Amino acid sequence: MVIAGRRERGYGPHMTNSDALETRLAAEITARRDDLVALTQALIRIPTLNPPGRNYREICDFLSDRLSGAGFSVELVRAEGARADSDRHPRWNMVARRDGARPGDCVHFNSHHDVVEVGHGWTVDPFGGVVRDGRVYGRGACDMKGGLAASIVAAEAFIAACPDFTGAIEISATADEESGGYGGVAYLAEKGWFAPERVQHVIIPEPLNKDRICLGHRGVWWAEIETKGRIAHGSMPFLGDCAVRHMGAVLAEMEEVLFPLLAGRHTDMPVVPEGARQSTLNINAIHGGEPEQEAGYTGLPAPCVPDRCRITIDRRVLIEEDPEEVKAEIAAMMERVKARRPGFDYEIRELFEVRPTMTDREAPVVQTVARAIEKVLARAPQYVVSPGTYDQKHIDRIGRLKNCIAYGPGILDLAHQPDEWVGIDDMTDSARVMALTLAELLAV
Ligand SMILES: [Zn+2]
């Protein structure tokens, strides 16, 4: 890893200077509290719903205006040809960069600008940006427009307090995290935006809570398993071969052998919630026999022996597991079932795969954010790992950059829920942590 422009870090002789800077940064953030709220509201009021990917250009233009005004040079990047990109719903991304007075490390804040569908159960306007009882409400408030706003205000506060800084600050707002990130971070990483020679530290302000550092995530493997049979009249099932009964045998094998095995496989990754500190497998869907009747059809279904049955499995993978062995384990299970059932045949189709990733606790960005949390919140940070994936996968695998964490305001459980909100104090505290992180990494 390139860590350029080094100087002595830490406490000791720099104590007085860094204390003065810390006080100055706290004052700069306090002075920007109303602006932080207004910025969060403005972002919520641009409904960047995904799918299908609405208003991506609008939010990038809005952010471009804001950050150009703060002295950043801004590029808008359309992920042309990426999954889901179309002229109707183009996948726009925004990357803003501000270089300091001298060369040095680049600290990059990456937020996704897309939000998930609204759903039912709201008591406030999901795109109104309502402020009530110290909270900003709306779809995307915590996941993750509050985090994006906090990173922008943190950068602006740091630049005001320390205009002579070393290195560079980048802020990106990227598309499609909620649908895999292919038109967002994956595209940018493929084009070299996260190459270790141009970016050294990445912070993703996902809503992990202001005192937690998220080091990475488990891996995932989705596959479709199909059992095959032979169609026949339902009154004479002995003339056919029932694919649903074959699948029943597969499910029984999972219950008896596979699930107990997975439950006993524990990880040292600090995954939250704790129930996810083991290998897991979910059956996301099952389909067998005739398809659902078309709308408006009121007659009976026809009697047939089903010749196809499919399940989609969602296997979450630990860093201690070999992804190839995870796949081989499923294949071996299917072979065991096959050995017991004459005429049984099956197919496994791989759908999607993400490798587990976890940044080292000793990595510079982890240690720096940890010290900033201790100073701002007067408590030690908690180190966590996410049970599901987020854009760190692309930064790690395609971008080859390991010095990356998720850190940001908001309560993860509120994400994707009705009446989603982010706390204003949580945003200002996180912004202070982010500004202090910039100070430690980039202040002269
Ligand atoms: Zn998110």
pLDDT, tens digit (0-9, with 9 covering 90-100), for 289-306 = 987 777 888 888 889 999
Over 70: is that where the pLDDT of 141 sits?
A: yes
Ligand 1 centroid – CA 286 distance (Å): 28
Q: In this structure, which residues have their CB less than 5 angstroms from ion ligand 1?
A: 143-144, 206
Confidence of residue 400 (pLDDT cuts 50, 70, 90): confident
Rounded to the nearest whole angstrom, what is the distance from the C-alpha of residue 193 to the centroid of ligand 1? 20
Q: How far is the CA of 178 from the centre of ligand 1 (A)?
A: 7
Query: For position 149, what pLDDT does the model report?
Result: 98
The CA dihedral of 196, 400, 7, 29, to the nearest 10 degrees, is: 90
pLDDT at 12: 44
Backbone φ and ψ of 229, nearest 5°: -135, -150
**If you measure from the C-alpha of residue 206 to the centroid of ligand 1, how many angstroms do you get, rounded to a whole number?**
5
> How many Å lie between the centroid of ligand 1 and the Cα of residue 147?
10
Ligand 1 centroid – CA 11 distance (Å): 35
Q: In the prediction, which pLDDT does 291 show?
A: 79
What are the tens digits of pLDDT across the range 339-395?
Answer: 999 989 999 999 989 999 999 999 999 999 999 999 999 999 999 999 989 999 999
Q: Is the pLDDT of residue 15 over 60?
A: no
Fold designation for 219-289+301-354: Alpha-Beta Plaits (3.30.70)
Write out pLDDT tens, residues 322-343: 999 999 999 999 999 999 999 8
The alpha carbon of 400 and the centre of ligand 1 are apart by a number of angstroms equal to 21
Residues 6+ apart with CB under 8 A from 187: 77, 79, 82, 91, 93
| Exposed / middle / buried, residue 76 (Cβ in 10 Å: 0-12, 13-18, 19+) | middle
On the question of pLDDT at 8 being above 60, the answer is no
Tens-place pLDDT, residues 58-91: 999 999 999 999 999 999 999 999 999 999 999 9
Provide the mean pLDDT of the chain: 94
On whether the CB atoms of residues 307 and 229 are closer than 8 A, the answer is yes
Say what the pLDDT of residue 18 is: 80
Q: How confident is the model at residue 413 (pLDDT cuts 50, 70, 90)?
A: confident
User: What kind and span of H or E run contains 377?
Assistant: helix 364-377
Give the per-residue pLDDT at 295: 81
Q: Which residues contact 120 (CB under 8 A, 6 or more apart)?
A: 418
Q: Where are the beta strands (DSSP E) in 258-417?
A: 280-288, 308-317, 345-354, 357-358, 382-386, 404-406
Whether residue 311 has pLDDT greater than 60: yes
Name the DSSP class of 29.
H
Residue 7, pLDDT score: 43
Distance CA 230, CA 361 (A): 55
Distance 391 CA to ligand 1 centre (A): 9
Residue 90: helix, strand or coil by DSSP? coil
Q: What are φ and ψ of residue 402, in 5° steps? A: -95, -15
As a whole number of angstroms, the distance between CA 79 and CA 46 comes to 20
Distance 112 CA to ligand 1 centre (A): 7
Q: How far is the CA of 13 from the centre of ligand 1 (A)?
A: 40
Q: Are strands 219-228 and 135-137 parallel, antiparallel or unpaired?
A: unpaired
Same fold? 12-217+357-442, 219-289+301-354: no
Residue 11's pLDDT band (boundaries 50, 70, 90)?
Answer: very low
Output the pLDDT for position 4: 45
Sequence-separated contacts (24+) of 230-234 with Cβ below 8 Å: 230/305, 230/307, 231/304, 231/305, 231/306, 231/307, 232/304, 232/305, 233/303, 233/304, 233/305, 234/302, 234/303, 234/304, 234/305
Lowest-confidence region among 194-208, 274-288, 388-402: 388-402
- pLDDT (tens digit per residue) in 272-282: 989 999 999 99
Q: Sketch the domain layout of the chain as residue ranges.
A: 12-217+357-442, 219-289+301-354
CA of 97 to the centre of ligand 1 (A): 22
Per-residue pLDDT tens digits for 97-130: 999 999 999 999 999 999 999 999 999 999 999 9
CATH class in words for 12-217+357-442: alpha beta
Tokens of 365: 């960005």
DSSP string across 34-55: HHHHHHHHHHHTS--BTTTTTT
pLDDT of residue 5: 42
User: What is Dmax (Cα atoms) for the chain?
Assistant: 88
- Could you tell me the distance, in angstroms and rounded to a whole number, from the CA of residue 214 to the centre of ligand 1? 13
CA of 161 to the centre of ligand 1 (A): 30
User: Distance (Å, rounded) from C-alpha 393 to C-alpha 333?
Assistant: 29
Q: How far is the CA of 31 from the centre of ligand 1 (A)?
A: 27
Q: How many whole angstroms separate alpha carbon 26 and alpha carbon 376?
A: 9
Cβ within 8 Å of residue 1, ≥6 positions away: 196, 200, 364, 402, 403
Token match 């049970």: residue? 387
Nearest in space to 127 (alpha carbons), one of 63, 179, 49: 49
